[in-house]
Every structure is written in structure tokens, then in C-alpha cells.
């Protein structure tokens, strides 16, 4: 099962809630940079065996893949053990939701292998227990995420484009980035309808503009509407990220922005050849800094679904 990375087209933080989470409005998008999660049933035992992973995402009981398998095992009373191989390509602590996507892929694979018959909604609500941005990875494509990131509405697909992803050799801790934002405390109950939808999200903010841009289907309009409130913190902590953003634009990207809580910086273009040439140049220019440079394209929801069916056959 392929587990795609996500990027943020927008990230608006509305404030800090009484439960400590931040109320957010985000437009998220899957891209075709993937981890591969291979799941098989073992009828000889009932344990979860996880192999692979990476130094930063070791195959132990703290790994989201393991925790997802344990959750499914408990919820569905699985009669047999499972063996999982995790091939990591998506950088860890990068703002790309790699671990979250591995978790979503693990649940989808187990749902299929054990014919559990869980629909997307059921999987999303179980996965929300393990992390705010995991539910989005069940469906992928282009979606609006509200609440703490777990409440989803599918959106018209973003126009296809290419992304150059540059990950410096350090991570950014999501809780620390949110904390350092010092967002205003929100009253209880929250001053918005319980279910935020594309129709009732706050008018001001990047996401409302992005919804309008997506309706036009214009790549330029999508670029113009991009924005991420968490850049204030992460770019302040790591000024080299500001330089990286400028460099990507200098090299020909139509725009550059940070993904999630960072530190990955994204550069955008709608031409594959240009994306690859910019990636080559940025890799050369940052050779001594140990940055990881990757190229991906946007992955629509239907395309992601087809992939999943293929992998499960």
C-alpha cells in the first residue's frame, strides 16, 4: 500500500482551545512522494511484527504503524497476527505527515485483508484518536480540514502542479511550534458552528481565499491564495528557511512556502522539466548543508484510490 505525503496549501490558526489544541482551518493536498507499507497476515501467531522504518521512525511500539495495527487488532478482535514492512521515503518531523500517512495506509490494508467492511468515516474517526492529521490521509486528494485538523470536507481537485520539497537536516516539533505561536485563547463554546464547512469558515484567512481559488481551477489563483500561519514561528527559529524560500523563487519557482509546522519548504511550478531542473540546482547549491531535495506532483483523490485498489489486488 502506498502512503502519500501531504502538503498544506493553507494553514490558518484561529486560536488555542480549552483542550490545548489549536482550532485550525487548512487546505491539504496529497502528493506522489510515498512510503510503502506492506502488510501480510500470519496465521501462526497473534502478534504484530514491524520491520523497516528508519532511524527517526524506528519499527518499535511507538511507531504509528504499530499503534494503528494494535488499535485495529483491539477493535476488530483480529484472530491472527500481522507482519508489516515499512519502507520510508517521506522525511520524518518534516511537516509532510509521513507517519500519519503510514498509519492511514496500515488501517486501510488491514481493513482490506481482514474484510472488516469499515467505511472511510469509520476509519477516519478511529485514526483521529492517534493524530489530528491522520484522517485526511484516508481519502487524500484536496480537502478542507477544520477542528484540530480531523474534520474533513473534500474539495474540488486543485489544478495539477509540481512541487520541489526541500527538507533541511533538522526536524520541527509540531507541539513546540504551536506553543511558540502564542495564539489567543478561544472562549468555550467556540464562536463558530460546531461543524465548520466550506460555506461557514471565517471569511478572513488564507483558506477562505483558497476555496475561491479552487473554484476557478486556476493555478495562478491557487498560488496567490497560499499561506501558512506557522511560518511565523518556524522561519523565525530557522532563518535559513527564509533564504531557502527566496532561493527557490530565484531559481524559477512560481511561489515557495513552508508545509505544516515545517521545516520542509515547498517550491511550486506547473512544469515537470522545470521542477526537475530547479531541484537539481538547489541540490547543488545546498550540497554542503545536507538538505534533502525531492520532486513530486499533486495526487488527486481518484488517482490515490486507484493506486490503493491496485496495491491490494
CB of 183 to ligand C5P, least distance (A): 9
The answer to whether 148 contacts ligand C5P (rule: CB under 6 A) is: yes
Provide, rounded to whole angstroms, the least separation between the CB of residue 259 and ligand C5P: 14
Q: Is 133 a catalytic residue?
A: yes
Among 101, 111, 132, 269, binds ligand C5P (CB under 6 A): 132
Dihedral (Cα; 145, 151, 154, 158), 10-degree rounding: 10
CA atoms of 255 and 260, how far apart (whole Å): 16
Binding ligand C5P (rule: CB under 6 A), the pick from 53, 59, 98, 131 is 131
Is 136 one of the binding residues for ligand C5P (CB under 6 A)? no
End-to-end CA distance of the chain: 10
Q: Are 269 and 165 a contacting pair, CB within 8 Å?
A: no
The two beta strands, 162-167 and 227-228, are unpaired
Helix (H, G, I), strand (E, B) or coil at 156: coil
Q: Is 182 a catalytic residue?
A: no
User: Does position 80 bind ligand C5P by CB under 6 A?
Assistant: no
List the x/- string, 153-192, binding to ligand C5P by CB under 6 A.
---------------------xx--x--------------
**Interface with ligand C5P by CB under 6 A: which range of 16-24, 162-170, 209-217, 236-244?**
16-24
CA angle (152 as vertex; 215, 27 as ends), nearest 5: 50
Work out the burial of residue 284: count CB atoms within 10 Å of its CB; fewer than 13 is exposed, 13-18 middle, 19 or more buried: exposed
- Interface residue list for ligand C5P (CB under 6 A): 21-22, 24, 131-132, 148-149, 174-175, 178
Give me the active site residues, please. Answer: 6, 133
Amino acid at each position: 500500500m502506498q502512503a502519500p505525503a501531504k502538503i498544506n496549501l493553507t494553514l490558518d490558526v484561529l486560536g488555542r482551545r480549552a483542550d490545548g489544541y489549536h482550532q485550525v482551518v487548512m487546505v491539504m493536498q496529497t502528493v506522489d512522494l510515498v512510503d510503502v507499507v506492506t502488510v501480510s497476515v500470519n496465521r501462526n501467531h497473534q502478534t504484530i511484527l514491524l520491520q523497516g522504518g528508519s532511524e527517526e521512525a524506528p519499527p518499535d511500539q511507538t511507531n504509528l504503524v504499530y499503534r494503528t495495527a494494535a488499535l485495529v487488532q483491539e477493535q476488530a478482535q483480529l484472530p491472527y497476527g500481522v507482519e508489516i514492512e515499512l519502507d520510508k521515503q517521506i522525511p520524518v518531523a518534516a511537516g509532510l505527515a509521513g507517519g500519519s500517512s503510514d498509519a492511514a495506509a496500515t488501517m486501510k490494508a488491514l481493513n482490506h485483508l481482514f474484510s472488516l467492511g469499515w467505511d472511510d468515516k469509520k476509519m477516519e474517526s478511529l485514526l483521529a484518536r492517534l493524530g489530528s492529521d491522520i484522517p485526511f490521509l484516508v481519502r487524500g486528494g484536496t480537502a478542507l480540514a477544520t477542528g484540530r485538523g480531523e474534520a474533513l470536507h473534500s474539495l474540488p481537485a486543485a489544478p495539477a502542479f509540481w512541487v520541489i520539497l526541500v527538507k533541511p537536516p533538522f526536524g520541527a516539533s509540531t507541539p513546540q511550534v504551536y506553543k511558540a505561536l502564542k495564539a489567543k485563547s478561544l472562549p468555550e463554546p467556540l464562536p463558530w458552528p460546531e461543524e465548520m464547512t466550506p460555506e461557514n469558515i471565517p471569511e478572513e484567512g488564507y483558506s477562505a481565499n483558497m476555496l475561491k481559488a479552487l473554484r476557478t481551477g486556476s493555478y495562478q489563483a491557487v498560488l496567490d491564495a497560499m499561506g501558512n500561519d506557522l511560518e511565523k514561528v518556524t522561519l523565525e527559529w530557522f532563518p535559513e528557511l527564509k533564504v531557502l524560500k527566496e532561493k527557490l523563487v530565484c531559481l524559477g519557482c512560481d511561489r515557495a512556502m513552508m508545509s505544516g509546522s515545517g521545516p520542509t519548504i515547498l517550491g511550486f511550478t506547473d512544469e515537470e522539466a522545470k521542477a526537475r531542473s530547479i531541484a537539481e540546482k538547489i541540490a547543488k547549491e545546498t550540497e554542503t548543508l545536507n538538505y534533502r531535495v525531492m520532486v513530486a506532483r499533486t495526487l488527486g483523490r481518484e488517482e490515490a484510490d486507484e493506486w490503493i485498489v491496485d496495491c491490494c489486488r
